[in-house]
Amino acid sequence: MAEDQSVTGAAEATNASPPSNKQRRLRMLIGVLVLLLVGWWTFLFSIQGHLIWPIGLVGPLQELKPSPNVQVLTRDIGEGEMVEAWYVPAGDLSAGASVMPLVVYLHGNGELIDYQDRILNQYHAMGLSVLLVEYRGYGRSGGKPTQWNIREDVLHFIDQVPHEKLIYHGRSLGGGVSADLATVLTPDAVILESTFRSIASMARKYFALPFLIRHPYRTDRALGDSDWPVLLFHGSDDSIIPLSESQKLAELRTDAKLVVYPAGHNDFPGPDHEQDYWHEIRTFLTAQKLLPSDAE
């Protein structure tokens, strides 16, 4: 009986028809698609740093001079290169003077610290000190940026200036930098403006796989695991980072406030809402007792 079955199986194998032209074309198409996807993922993996930090789009850097009250700080990162930061102290730093809360402002990936006069002046008018840290490869800062060395640079400069209370304010990519920073140095308040849940959430439109992301910037995870006060801003017409990103971040914390203005990404909050924008920030910081009494 076993011999009969073996003979029958051999006959069936011999009589099996070869793949049709349609099947061969389908297999070939699947193979081509797999190769294209692997090639695309390899390409994304290799250029993701340039997508996150498009350094070439920022320059050329104009020769701007900081105002007289700006202290220029530098950090030696080796090989003859340095990272730059600007520090503007609030009030008199003489012996016995109160140390004001420090606002650490982290800008977007298409900006420079040179152009943050609006942020610097408004916070300084509130009686707060301000620290602007330039990303590696931007402006006069050397090196190449990564999530990890930007974090190290900001921590270094925070340690160089007097402070007792810390406020992180990050815009766009800077929101991811701020949330990442908050996981290692707890702030007293965080303002996230036009930012994202994670790099992976933004990379889905490129069909990028999460494990390929080298600079994850998990704003969602940092926010969900925290208890620091947070204020969220976003433009309803933001075509670069959708409003849904901040809406989902707000869902992670029942105490989070999300303020939305009819603006895009690069024109946020817009001239019609500038005054209200700063009113929201002032109200938020006052509630956290982070403003000098005469500035409330």
- Are the beta carbons of 264 and 237 closer than 8 angstroms? yes
The values of phi and psi at residue 81, to 5°, are -115, 155
pLDDT band at 182 (very low <50, low <70, confident <90, very high): very high
Residues 6 or more apart whose CB falls under 8 angstroms from that of 266 comprise 110, 240
- Whether 197 and 245 have beta carbons less than 8 Å apart is answered as yes
- How many Å is the Cα radius of gyration of the chain? 26
What is the residue type of 13?
Answer: A
Digit-coded pLDDT (tens) for 129-181:
999 999 999 988 999 999 999 999 999 999 999 998 999 999 999 999 999 99
Least confident of 41-55, 83-97, 165-179: 41-55
* Residue with more model confidence, 24 or 256: 256
Instruction: Give the domain ranges of the chain.
Output: 55-295
Share of the chain above pLDDT 90, in %: 61
Residue 72's SS3 state is: strand
Q: Give the Cα separation of 73 and 231 in Å (integer).
A: 29
DSSP helix/strand/coil, 105: strand
List pLDDT tens digits, range 269-285: 999 999 999 999 999 99
| DSSP conformational letter for 181 | H
Q: Which residue has the higher pLDDT, 71 or 32?
A: 71
189: helix, coil or strand?
strand
DSSP for 149-169 reads HHHHHHHHHHHHS--SSEEEE
Q: In the chain, what's the furthest Cα-to-Cα distance?
A: 103
Q: What are the structure tokens assigned to 151, written together?
A: 């974090």
pLDDT band, residue 55 (cuts 50/70/90): confident
Instruction: Provide the pLDDT confidence category of residue 260 given band limits of 50, 70 and 90.
Output: very high
- Taking residue 272's Cβ as centre, other Cβ atoms within 10 Å add up to 10
pLDDT tens-digit readout, 91-119: 765 544 567 899 999 999 999 998 899 99
Q: What pTM was estimated for this model as a whole?
A: 0.83
Predicted pLDDT at 40 = 47
**Alpha helical stretches, state H, the chain:** 2-15, 21-52, 117-125, 147-160, 173-182, 199-203, 219-224, 243-250, 274-287
Say what the pLDDT of residue 19 is. Answer: 72
Instruction: Tell me the two tokens of residue 96.
Output: 């016995």
In this prediction, residue 22 has a pLDDT band, given cuts at 50, 70 and 90, of: confident
Q: How confident is the model at residue 41 (pLDDT cuts 50, 70, 90)?
A: very low
Specify whether the CB–CB gap between 190 and 196 falls below 8 A.
Answer: no
Say what the pLDDT of residue 213 is: 73
Q: Which of 13-27, 61-75, 167-181 has the lowest mean pLDDT?
A: 13-27
Q: Kindly state the tokens that stand for 280.
A: 């929201």
The tokens for 249 are: 């971040």
Q: Three-class SS of residue 260?
A: strand
Residue 2, pLDDT > 70, answer: no
Q: Which CATH superfamily is domain 55-295 in?
A: Alpha/Beta hydrolase fold, catalytic domain (3.40.50.1820)
SS3 assignment, position 192: strand
Averaged pLDDT score across all residues of the chain: 84
Residue-level pLDDT at 31: 66
